[in-house]
């Protein structure tokens, strides 16, 4: 399959090691992986230069996720690109499973189901069971940039990610807003599961910038940035809350779990 996996790094070397080891174990070839470093100082850059990768792109400064994602996407310009965080563990054949599901269901943008938090459980065994029992469970429209499969035609239609270093993370909101405006179908599937340790890079950036963990990394007037009216924003949030509630209720009733879990106190909390 013609695909590339790309992720941005900013310190957090241990998580990057686990992520890359997981990708290679899943069957992804090294030449299909592009890592983009945003000015790490903890040995990440040196590690990426010696790691089995298709390419390691080293930025002088933190150019933001948007810039790094674009660099990775454009480095190979594959039919499919998986844009993901560097604090993720994946399952065997996860890229191929995502692409096959997207093709079968005529989707050009797709996210896997996930569990956030501590990896204190047998993820491989959990994922094998969940991918079998929830293989056809879909949330649509719903996707996230923790891990996102995108067809090349989407970039040609709506453009790439916003490159504004001071945003430090709101690029995903702009991208999904553009997806909705263009009517591009996007979804989350239980056919593929990942484990996500959870906002590791953002927490590190907060620490480096002296921002309390409970605060947002960058305060953005998102309604103005997206050129939304007050009522548009309110209606969108209302519909999203309704959808999340309905998805949770139906998935719990049918499967005893949902497509988004959090690992807390050695137990799963289903959202």
Half-sphere exposure of 82 (CA within 13 A, CB side): 26
Residue 148 CA to residue 73 CA, distance in Å, equals: 12
What pLDDT digit, counting tens, does each position of 35-58 carry?
999 999 999 999 999 999 999 999
**Residues recorded for the chain:** 271
Average pLDDT value for the chain:
92
Q: Are 69 and 6 in contact (CB under 8 A)?
A: yes
Non-local (6+) Cβ contacts of 189 within 8 A are 98, 101, 105, 110, 111, 112, 113, 137, 138, 259
Give the mean pLDDT of 119-147: 97
Q: Sign of torsion, CA 64 68 71 73? A: negative
Residue 188 CA to residue 114 CA, distance in Å, equals: 10
**Helix residue ranges, H only, 123-229:** 123-133, 152-158, 171-182, 200-209, 222-225
Query: Hey, what domains does the chain have and what are their CATH numbers?
Result: 3-270 (3.90.550.10)
Q: Give the residue, 88 or 236, on which the prediction is more confident.
A: 88
% of residues, the chain, pLDDT over 90: 79
What pLDDT digit, counting tens, does each position of 63-84 carry?
989 999 999 999 999 999 999 9
Confidence of residue 157 (pLDDT cuts 50, 70, 90): very high
Confidence of residue 86 (pLDDT cuts 50, 70, 90): very high
DSSP code at position 191: E
H or E stretch including 268?
strand 267-270
Nearest to 111 by CA among 176, 188, 171: 188
User: Which of 86-90, 161-165, 216-220 comes out lowest in average pLDDT?
Assistant: 216-220
Question: The tokens 């990394």 sit on which residue?
Answer: 217
Write down the pLDDT at residue 236.
Answer: 84
What pLDDT digit, counting tens, does each position of 95-111 carry?
999 999 999 999 999 99
Write down the pLDDT at residue 233.
Answer: 81
Non-local (6+) Cβ contacts of 144 within 8 A are 111, 172, 188
Write down the pLDDT at residue 184.
Answer: 97
Is the pLDDT confidence value at 117 over 60?
yes
Give the mean pLDDT of 224-233: 79
What pLDDT digit, counting tens, does each position of 9-21 carry?
999 999 999 999 9
- What is the CB neighbour count within 10 angstroms for residue 122? 9
Two tokens at 111?
A: 């996210």
Task: Confirm whether pTM is higher than 0.85.
Answer: yes
DSSP code at position 48: H
């Amino acid at each position: 399959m013609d695909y590339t996996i790309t992720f941005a790094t900013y310190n957090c070397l241990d998580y990057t090691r686990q992520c890359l080891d997981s990708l290679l174990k899943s069957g992804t070839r090294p030449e299909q992986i592009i890592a983009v470093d945003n000015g790490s100082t903890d040995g990440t850059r040196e590690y990426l230069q010696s790691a089995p990768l298709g390419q390691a792109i080293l930025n002088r400064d933190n150019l933001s996720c948007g810039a790094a994602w674009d660099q990775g996407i454009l480095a190979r310009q594959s039919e499919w690109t998986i844009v993901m965080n560097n604090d993720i563990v994946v399952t065997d054949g996860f890229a191929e499973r995502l692409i096959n599901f997207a093709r079968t269901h005529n989707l050009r943008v797709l996210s896997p189901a996930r569990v956030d938090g501590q990896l204190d459980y047998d993820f491989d065994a959990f994922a094998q069971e969940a991918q079998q029992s929830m293989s056809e469970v879909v949330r649509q429209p719903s996707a996230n940039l923790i891990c996102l499969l995108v067809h090349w035609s989407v970039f040609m239609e709506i453009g790439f990610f916003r490159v504004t270093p001071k945003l430090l993370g709101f690029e995903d909101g702009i991208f999904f807003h553009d997806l909705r405006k263009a009517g591009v179908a996007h979804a989350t599937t239980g056919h593929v599961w990942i484990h996500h340790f959870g906002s590791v890079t953002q927490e590190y950036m907060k620490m480096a910038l002296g921002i309390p963990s409970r605060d947002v990394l960058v305060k953005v007037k998102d309604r103005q940035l997206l050129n939304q009216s007050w009522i548009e924003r309110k209606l969108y949030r209302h519909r999203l809350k309704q959808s999340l509630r309905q998805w949770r209720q139906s998935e719990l009733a049918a499967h005893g779990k949902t497509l988004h879990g959090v690992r807390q106190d050695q137990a799963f909390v289903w959202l």
